């Protein structure tokens, strides 16, 4: 089966899954949100009721036996993701589960009860062919059911689409003060994985918690799937602080199908003296790889963002003096002369090698929290190249940028 045929089959499977939900008239199928490694996502609309305002929701479903990845158990991958999202429930910058009675994780995606899904479809085709001969009426194909769970709908799309939209429009830059606020969202995600809320079922009432450092051991959760389609823009939570001002969205991370506790052989080999912080440094490394894209929106060439196999020296100067590290960061960020040099230095340092030379999660959060307090006239914020390109860092320009490129932009 070709890749095109494979995707077509998985989308057809999604429609079968959707039909289970749309048998309830309060749900309408809006479309496919995406096709992942072990499952797909559907967008449904839900009518308003006495208990719930009208809304869009995301349904994630397992491919079951149709999974292209024959080395994995698609059903178990989906259940694995649910387990991590349950632990991360309430975290401000992580995509959230929605309780939906129509979903179930227990239904096997390998069988419809008596036949495999493929066999049931073939049986329907055979019966339809027989019906054409007038010998017998066809029976309805069984409604396909798979392990499913529901997620909140994130309004403004993926970071990948945002980058693509800017590139295709010839936009060469994003204001650095906006980049810092986006980066803070991504750092908070890493903090949330290090200190998950773990809210018990009987105490969870939809509360939203800002991810902050805590004086307790790290949990070592690693997301293990950092790419630009797994970071999404959404409406900012109504929490105190100026992190999402002026009128800015927040960024959430999604997809924990590959999530795991990272305290095994890799952690012991790469960070033997501080195993507990290995996962947080790995999560930051993945976030930095994605953040490079928004710092370098003038290119979409994938090879430009590839991490080096061998390290190169990188030197920078700050208030404490001159420093040199070995890093795997690619030239596209090392040589970037548009973004705030402090942000460039931080991302390059997070991609340092060996792991012991990477900054800690606590240090990265502290530096980022301070950086967002800088005003448009902060020394060093506006580089010479940025000024030549016409970059402005005022609140008005930052807000107008997001209004034009995200809030008012047509869906891609």
The least confident of 72-76, 114-118, 220-224, 368-372 is 114-118
pLDDT at 112: 38
328 SS3 class: coil
Residue 256 Cα distances to 242, 328, 345, angstroms: 28, 25, 29
Residue range 198-219, pLDDT digits in tens: 999 999 999 999 999 999 999 9
Calpha distance 40→15 (Å, rounded)? 11
With a cut of 50, say whether residue 115 has pLDDT above it.
no
Give the pairing of strands 148-152 and 250-253. unpaired
151, 152, 149: which is closest to 234 by C-alpha?
A: 152
Mean pLDDT to the nearest integer, 245-264: 93
Mean pLDDT to the nearest integer, 121-142: 61
Residue range 361-387, pLDDT digits in tens: 999 999 999 999 999 999 989 999 999
**Mean pLDDT, the chain, whole residue set:** 91
Mean pLDDT to the nearest integer, 147-175: 96
Calpha distance 79→84 (Å, rounded)? 9
pLDDT at 366: 98
With a cut of 90, say whether residue 229 has pLDDT above it.
yes
pLDDT at 132: 64
Cα Rg of the chain (Å, integer): 24
Residue 292, both tokens? 């490079």
Using CA atoms of 272, 276, 277, 281 in order, give the dihedral in degrees to the nearest 10.
80
pLDDT band at 110 (very low <50, low <70, confident <90, very high): very low
Calpha distance 233→250 (Å, rounded)? 6
With a cut of 90, say whether residue 408 has pLDDT above it.
yes
With a cut of 80, say whether residue 125 has pLDDT above it.
no
Calpha distance 176→202 (Å, rounded)? 42
pLDDT at 139: 52
pLDDT at 85: 97
Q: What contacts 95, CB < 8 A, 6 or more positions away?
A: 85, 151, 152, 154, 232, 252, 253, 254, 255
pLDDT at 268: 97
pLDDT at 72: 78
**H/E element holding 7?**
helix 3-22
Give the pairing of strands 55-62 and 39-46. antiparallel
pLDDT band at 121 (very low <50, low <70, confident <90, very high): low
pLDDT at 107: 74
How many C-beta atoms surround the C-beta of residue 21 within 10 A? 22
pLDDT band at 178 (very low <50, low <70, confident <90, very high): very high
For the entire predicted model, the pTM comes to 0.90
Residue 30, both tokens? 């809006």
Which phi and psi angles does 261 have, rounded to 5°? -80, 120
With a cut of 50, say whether residue 141 has pLDDT above it.
no
The least confident of 164-173, 235-244, 307-316 is 235-244
pLDDT at 321: 94
With a cut of 60, say whether residue 114 has pLDDT above it.
no
Domains of the chain with CATH codes: 3-109+145-151 (3.30.200.20), 155-407 (1.10.510.10)
Residue range 43-100, pLDDT digits in tens: 999 999 988 899 999 999 998 878 888 777 888 899 999 999 999 999 999 999 999 9
pLDDT at 218: 97
Residue range 307-317, pLDDT digits in tens: 999 999 999 99
DSSP characters over 224-277: ----GGGEEEEPPP--SSSTTTTT--EEEE---TT-EE--SHHHHHH-TT-GGG
CB 186 within 8 A of CB 291: yes
pLDDT at 223: 97
Between 163 and 6, the higher pLDDT residue: 163
Calpha distance 274→34 (Å, rounded)? 37
pLDDT at 5: 85
């Amino acid at each position: 089966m070709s890749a095109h045929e494979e995707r077509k089959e998985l989308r057809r499977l999604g429609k079968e899954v959707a039909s289970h939900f749309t048998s309830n008239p309060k749900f309408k199928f809006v479309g496919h949100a995406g096709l992942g490694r072990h499952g797909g996502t559907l967008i449904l609309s839900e009518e308003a009721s006495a208990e719930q305002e009208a809304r869009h929701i995301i349904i994630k479903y397992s491919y079951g036996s149709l999974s292209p990845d024959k080395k994995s158990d698609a059903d178990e991958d989906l259940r694995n993701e649910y387990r991590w999202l349950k632990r991360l429930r309430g975290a401000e910058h992580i995509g959230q589960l929605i309780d939906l009675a129509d979903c179930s994780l227990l239904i096997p995606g390998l069988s419809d009860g008596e036949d495999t899904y493929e066999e049931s479809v073939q049986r329907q085709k055979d019966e339809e062919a027989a019906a054409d001969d007038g010998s017998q009426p066809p029976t309805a194909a069984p409604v396909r059911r798979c392990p499913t769970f529901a997620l909140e709908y994130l309004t403004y799309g993926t970071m990948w689409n945002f980058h693509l939209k800017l590139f295709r429009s010839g936009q060469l830059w994003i204001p650095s003060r906006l980049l810092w606020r986006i980066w803070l969202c991504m750092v908070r995600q890493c903090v949330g994985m290090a200190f998950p809320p773990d809210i018990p079922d009987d105490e969870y009432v939809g509360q939203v918690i800002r991810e902050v450092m805590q004086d307790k051991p790290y949990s070592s959760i690693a997301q293990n799937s950092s790419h630009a389609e797994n970071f999404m823009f959404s409406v900012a939570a109504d929490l105190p602080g100026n992190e999402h001002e002026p009128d800015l969205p927040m960024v959430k991370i999604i997809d924990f199908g590959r999530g795991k506790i990272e305290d095994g052989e890799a952690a012991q080999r790469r960070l033997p003296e501080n195993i507990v912080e290995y996962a947080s440094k790995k999560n930051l490394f993945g976030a930095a790889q994605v953040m490079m894209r928004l710092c370098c929106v003038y290119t979409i060439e994938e090879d430009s963002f590839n991490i080096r196999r061998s390290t190169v020296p990188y030197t920078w100067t700050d208030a404490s003096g001159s420093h040199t590290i070995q890093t795997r960061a690619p030239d596209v960020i090392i040589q970037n002369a548009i973004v705030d040099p402090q942000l460039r230095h931080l991302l390059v340092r997070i991609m340092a090698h060996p792991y012991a030379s990477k900054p800690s999660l606590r240090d990265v959060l502290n530096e980022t929290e301070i950086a967002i307090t800088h005003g448009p006239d902060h020394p060093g914020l506006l580089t010479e190249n940025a000024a030549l390109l016409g970059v402005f860092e005022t609140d008005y320009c930052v807000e107008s940028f997001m209004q034009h490129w995200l809030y008012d932009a047509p869906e891609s």
